[in-house]
């Protein structure tokens, strides 16, 4: 039986990611990325949204991906799982990079005037081209890590032979709370410099917890019964994170050290993930034509949304063709509209639907995160 709450977590979280990137594109606090401030305001109150959702929106996707991997492996061989995950994750994040996502690289470099800087440094075009392609990876980092985790999981399964999976079903309540400590510990190691999104250990813990613990219905049922308390707890913890780093610390960079390695960041990531899992299991375990439509297109929206947002920033917001509120609105429309339109178009082109979306070349299928 399909677990509708997991499908709904995916598409709802992707929607939150799109909104996050709209705010991030013109942010005045936190990460120094995108186009940044276009309002002229000393403080943009809506930038607080970044602090409220950033710690947990990607961890919960890895948690769900780990649980989904367990259900996938229950009905497939290891070899089938590897082939399927390679097609759906590795192909779009590598082949798709050179067949389509280089366009994102062009926009990214143009936003930062990188082409002019590279020309001033005397770099030949033969060097600029691979830099542009690599810069197009953008949101594909999630697919890179998820593929690596999936391959590692196959090896871990062979070593543990189901023992850890059986123990996960019996996880006591106190241990569910105590998992926050290994999450915080993992946040301290295997973090890449410069490109701070590649947090190999931190996200791997969420993926493994999803597979070994939160894939069990008995565990999810306990979260479902306590959904209200989990949501309240998450709101308090995430609000505390926002107040500390957005207000008191005057917009500290939430995506890099020391903030993203702090105990409060780990607590926000875990509390938000549990609240989303328990809350959706209780209130969002249903399927309607709308939720099925959103779920089927969540992967395409994730892959394509940033191109629309960043294109508006480059060609409309930067030259100040429209006032700031219109740029925000147009960026949101381009993120959602462009994401869905590109997904609809590319999913119908035989080679590109395989290269960019990981859809089999011989038939159409839904691509899920």
Query: For the segment 189-232, what is each residue's pLDDT rounded down to a tens digit?
Result: 999 988 889 999 999 999 999 999 999 999 999 999 999 999 99
Bond prior to 341 in cis (omega within 30° of 0) = no
Cα–Cα distance between 320 and 316 in angstroms, integer?
Answer: 6
Beta bridge partners of 291: none
- 3-state DSSP assignment of residue 37: coil
Instruction: Please tell me what DSSP assigns to residue 315.
Output: I
* Band (367; pLDDT cuts 50, 70, 90): very low
DSSP 98-150: IIIIHHHHHHHHHHTTHHHHHHHTT--HHHHHHHHHHHTTGGGHHHHHHHHHH
Nearest of 25, 97, 20, 7 to residue 61 by alpha carbon: 7
pLDDT tier at 364 (50, 70, 90 boundaries)? very low
How many angstroms separate the Cα of 286 from the Cα of each of 165, 259, 303?
27, 37, 25
Across the chain, how many H-helices and E-strands are there?
19, 0
**Alpha-carbon gap, residue 277 to 285, rounded angstroms:** 10
Mean pLDDT of 49-54: 97
The pLDDT of residue 18 is above 60: yes
Predicted model pTM: 0.95
Among candidate residues 81, 80, 23, the one with its CA nearest the CA of residue 54: 23
């Amino acid at each position: 039986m399909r677990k509708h709450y997991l499908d709904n977590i995916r598409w709802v979280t992707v929607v939150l990611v799109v909104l996050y990137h709209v705010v991030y594109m013109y942010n005045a606090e936190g990460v120094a990325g995108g186009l940044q401030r276009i309002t002229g305001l000393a403080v943009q109150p809506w930038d607080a949204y970044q602090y409220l959702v950033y710690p947990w929106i990607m961890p919960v996707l890895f948690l769900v991906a780990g649980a989904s991997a367990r259900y996938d492996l229950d009905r497939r061989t290891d070899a089938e799982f590897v082939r399927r995950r390679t097609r759906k994750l590795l192909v779009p994040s590598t082949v798709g990079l050179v067949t389509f996502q280089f366009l994102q690289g062009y926009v990214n470099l143009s936003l930062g005037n990188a082409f002019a800087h590279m020309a001033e440094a005397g770099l030949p075009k033969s060097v600029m081209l691979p830099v542009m392609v690599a810069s197009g990876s953008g949101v594909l980092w999630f697919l890179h890590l998820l593929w690596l985790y999936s391959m590692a999981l196959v090896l871990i399964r062979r070593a543990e032979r189901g023992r850890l999976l059986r123990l996960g079903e019996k996880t006591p309540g106190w241990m569910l709370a105590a998992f926050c400590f290994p999450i915080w510990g993992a946040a301290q190691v295997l973090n890449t410099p410069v490109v701070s999104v590649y947090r190999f250990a931190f996200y791997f813990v969420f993926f493994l917890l999803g597979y070994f613990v939160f894939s069990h219905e008995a565990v999810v049922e306990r979260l479902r019964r306590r959904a209200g308390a989990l949501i309240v707890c998450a709101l308090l913890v995430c609000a505390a994170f926002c107040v500390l780093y957005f207000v008191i610390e005057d917009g500290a960079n939430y995506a890099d050290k020391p903030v993203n390695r702090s105990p409060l960041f780990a607590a926000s990531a875990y509390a938000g993930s549990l609240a989303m899992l328990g809350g959706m299991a209780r209130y969002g375990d249903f399927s309607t034509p709308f939720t099925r439509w959103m779920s089927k297109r969540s992967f395409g929206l994730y892959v394509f949304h940033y191109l629309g947002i960043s294109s508006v920033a480059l060609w409309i917001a930067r030259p100040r063709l429209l006032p700031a509120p219109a740029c925000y609105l147009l960026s949101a429309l381009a993120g959602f509209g462009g994401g869905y339109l590109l997904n609809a178009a590319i999913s119908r082109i035989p080679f590109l639907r395989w290269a960019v979306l990981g859809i089999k070349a011989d038939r159409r299928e839904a691509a899920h995160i």
